[in-house]
């Protein structure tokens, strides 16, 4: 008996992009597919902010109702579908916090506001699933020393001071190495996006 291969991350991303396009065109069946592909991640976001399962479920329901009404506002040139939906879920959860009617386990609104949104910074780009492969390709183009320092800083969580001490160089030198490495990394990523 042949086993069916599970779809990989790229297949899932492609399916979500297609479902979002169909949803924007008014295809009701696409909403079910978007829900199936995103409910776990979006529920995790709303639960983390609201701290209550029932509140998170209610916020998630609001997300999909609003999505049905506003799917045509999604612009694939500005963000990946999951980044856009994650920001959407985050905003719905924060809206619920602002009403003041949320049960006891919710985070304070000030704590919820700085949660990542759809405009990732350099370290968030390292996490974004759609760009991971390209980032690693660009990292491989850096010299070994710079590549290792950037990985230690962004994946390992080391500070510039810790990296400088470990490498036996002044703090300013380490900052310069990483800054130049990030500039080259960004140029590589921009070039790959333009291609």
pLDDT in tens, 99-126: 766 555 555 545 544 444 444 443 343 3
For the full predicted model, state whether its pTM sits above 0.85: no
- Cite the residue boundaries of each domain of the chain with CATH code 1.10.1740.10: 9-119
Distance CA 97, CA 167 (A): 46
Measure the CA dihedral 165/166/168/171, to 10°: -40
Rounded mean pLDDT, 149-176: 87
Give the model's pLDDT for residue 165: 93
Cβ within 8 Å of residue 61, ≥6 positions away = none
Q: Under a CB-based contact definition with an 8 Å cutoff, are residues 138 and 189 in contact?
A: yes
All CATH 1.10.10.10 domain ranges of the chain, comma separated, are: 125-194
As a whole number of angstroms, the distance between CA 132 and CA 124 comes to 10
**What CATH number does domain 9-119 carry, 3.40.50.1110, 1.10.357.10, 1.10.1740.10, 3.40.50.10540?**
1.10.1740.10
Could you tell me which residues come within 8 angstroms of residue 178 by beta carbon, excluding any fewer than 6 positions away?
Answer: 146, 149, 150, 153, 160, 163
pLDDT in tens, 22-47: 988 888 888 999 999 888 888 888 88
Token output for 48: 């983390």
For 113, other C-beta atoms within 10 Å of its C-beta total: 13
Task: Count CB atoms within 10 A of the CB of residue 169.
Answer: 13
User: What span, in angstroms and rounded, lies between the C-alpha atoms of 73 and 155?
Assistant: 34
């Amino acid at each position: 008996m042949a086993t069916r291969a599970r779809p990989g991350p790229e297949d899932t991303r492609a399916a979500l992009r297609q479902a979002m396009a169909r949803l924007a065109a008014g295809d009701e069946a696409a909403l079910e597919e978007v829900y199936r592909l995103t409910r776990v991640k979006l529920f995790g976001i709303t639960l983390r902010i609201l701290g209550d399962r029932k509140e998170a479920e209610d916020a998630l329901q609001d997300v999909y109702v609003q999505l049905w009404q506003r799917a045509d506002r999604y612009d694939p040139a500005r963000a990946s579908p999951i980044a856009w939906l994650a920001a959407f879920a985050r905003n719905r959860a924060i809206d619920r916090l602002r009403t003041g009617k949320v049960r006891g386990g919710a985070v304070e609104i000030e704590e919820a506001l700085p949660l990542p949104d759809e405009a990732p910074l350099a370290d968030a780009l390292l996490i974004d699933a759609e760009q991971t492969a390209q980032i690693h390709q660009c990292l491989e183009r850096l010299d070994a020393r710079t590549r290792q320092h950037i990985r230690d800083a962004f994946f390992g969580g080391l500070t510039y001071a810790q990296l400088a001490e470990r490498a036996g160089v002044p703090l300013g030198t380490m900052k310069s190495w990483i800054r130049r490495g990030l500039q080259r990394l960004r140029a590589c990523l921009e070039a790959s996006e333009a291609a």
